[in-house]
């Protein structure tokens, strides 16, 4: 423990501080009096972390600085040094550094309870749970390959094209293309997002330019953001409609690729059925539901949404039972959903 009277008083003032910034400032003043004091460095590191974690997209560099110096001057001071160091690196996507810190946490000797903290068991369980994920990411980024994206020929035009999705057999590409649409009575044409389909004869050939899909799609509203089942026969699509000045309500619909007999030609005809609203279990009357993604077994639908209760844009999921009824959509837990915008599942 510190013996310098001024340092002792500053530490006491820090403990009595009413606000986190005041607490942190007193610790900094104490550090100015004794720059190598392990106890002060440790408390400053924890204090800085707690302030920064509540600031979206903030860098943890100021907090890491204190822990790094503490490790240089007094290694093994407390197990939480490695826990918080790992946590901050993990939050910043620095997976190799996080794994290194958490490994030091797991190897920390347990013979001195004063260096472990009261919640060491919970923290140990948290670290144990995240280590496989860190091992995967560390190996993944260790083997980075050159990334040289090229413009997709045939499909790409002077118009905007986005939200692409391949059919399971890679022969069809669905995407959104911005086109001009002028309804009867409109003075001028407006930009409308059209769900477009492009095909290729073989995997070695380019896709064609693509055509806007006919009815039941592209009926004046904006269409795009699709997902399709593994058998190519069930498709989910986002439809956005203007419902107020400056606001569009986007919901998710579904359709099936069904066949019927054309008695005029005597031939079997395949076409998409009318769009079916997925209903209140998934869609909201004043929210934004988009970017659906169907699981391979067809039972779980993931999608991005902005709604009451979401933190910006979040990813939700709903499951379908044996009768085809969708459960009430729920947000995915952390670390999938964050305080930022999470989308495009």
Q: How do residues 176-219 score in pLDDT, each as one tens digit?
A: 999 877 766 777 777 888 999 999 999 999 999 999 999 999 88
Q: How do residues 59-88 score in pLDDT, each as one tens digit?
A: 899 999 999 999 999 999 999 999 999 999
Residue 227 CA to residue 2 CA, distance in Å, equals: 63
pLDDT band, residue 3 (cuts 50/70/90): low
Mean local confidence (pLDDT), 53-58: 74
Cα-Cα end-to-end distance for the chain:
51
Is the confidence at residue 1, as pLDDT, over 70? no
Q: Phi, psi (5° rounding) for residue 323?
A: -95, 5
pLDDT band, residue 35 (cuts 50/70/90): low
Residue 67 CA to residue 333 CA, distance in Å, equals: 29
Query: Judging by DSSP bridges, how do beta strands 330-331 and 314-319 pair with one another?
Result: antiparallel
Q: Are residues 132 and 234 in the same domain?
A: no
Q: Are residues 311 and 174 in the same domain?
A: yes
Q: Are residues 99 and 225 in the same domain?
A: no
Structural domain including 180 reads 161-331
Are the C-beta atoms of residues 293 and 302 closer than 8 Å to each other?
yes
Q: Are residues 134 and 168 in the same domain?
A: no
- Nearest Cα residue to 179 out of 144, 209, 216: 209
Instruction: Return the SS3 of 117.
Output: coil
Instruction: Return the SS3 of 212.
Output: strand
Q: Are residues 257 and 291 in the same domain?
A: yes
pTM: 0.59
Residue 160 CA to residue 323 CA, distance in Å, equals: 39
Is the confidence at residue 91, as pLDDT, over 60? yes
Structural domains in the chain (count): 2
pLDDT at residue number 191: 82
Q: Phi, psi (5° rounding) for residue 127?
A: -65, -45
Is the confidence at residue 277, as pLDDT, over 90? yes
pLDDT at residue number 54: 75
Would you say residue 242 lies in a domain? Answer: yes
Are the C-beta atoms of residues 123 and 83 closer than 8 Å to each other?
yes
Is the confidence at residue 242, as pLDDT, over 80? no
Q: How do residues 109-144 score in pLDDT, each as one tens digit?
A: 988 998 998 899 999 999 999 999 899 888 888 887
């Amino acid at each position: 423990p510190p013996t310098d009277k001024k340092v002792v008083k500053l530490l006491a003032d820090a403990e009595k501080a009413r606000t986190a910034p005041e607490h942190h400032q007193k610790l900094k003043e104490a550090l100015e009096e004794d720059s190598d004091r392990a106890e002060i460095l440790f408390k400053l590191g924890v204090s800085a972390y707690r302030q920064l974690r509540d600031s979206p997209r903030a860098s943890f560099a100021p907090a890491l600085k204190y822990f790094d110096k503490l490790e240089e001057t007094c290694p093994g001071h407390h197990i939480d040094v490695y826990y918080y160091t790992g946590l901050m690196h993990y939050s910043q996507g620095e997976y190799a550094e996080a794994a290194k810190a958490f490994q030091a946490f797991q190897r920390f000797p347990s013979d001195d309870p004063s260096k472990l903290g009261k919640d060491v068991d919970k923290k140990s369980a948290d670290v144990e749970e995240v280590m496989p994920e860190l091992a995967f990411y560390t190996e993944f980024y260790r083997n980075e390959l050159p990334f040289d994206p090229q413009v997709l020929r045939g499909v790409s035009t002077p118009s905007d094209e986005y939200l692409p999705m391949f059919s399971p057999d890679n022969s069809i590409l669905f995407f959104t293309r911005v086109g001009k649409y002028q309804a009867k009575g409109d003075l001028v044409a407006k930009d409308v997002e059209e769900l477009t389909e492009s095909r290729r004869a073989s995997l070695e050939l380019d896709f064609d330019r693509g055509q806007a899909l006919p009815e039941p799609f592209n009926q004046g509203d904006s269409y795009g953001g699709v997902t399709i089942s593994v058998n190519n026969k069930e498709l989910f699509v986002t439809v956005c409609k203007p419902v107020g000045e400056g606001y569009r309500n986007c919901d998710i619909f579904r359709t099936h690729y069904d066949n019927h007999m054309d008695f005029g030609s005597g031939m079997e005809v395949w076409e998409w059925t009318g769009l079916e609203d997925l209903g209140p279990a998934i869609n909201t009357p004043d929210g934004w539901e988009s970017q659906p993604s169907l699981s391979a077994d067809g039972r779980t639908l993931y999608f991005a949404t902005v709604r009451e209760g979401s933190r910006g844009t979040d990813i939700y999921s709903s499951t379908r039972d044996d009768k085809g009824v969708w459960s009430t959509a729920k947000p995915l837990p952390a670390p999938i959903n964050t305080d930022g915008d999470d989308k495009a599942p």
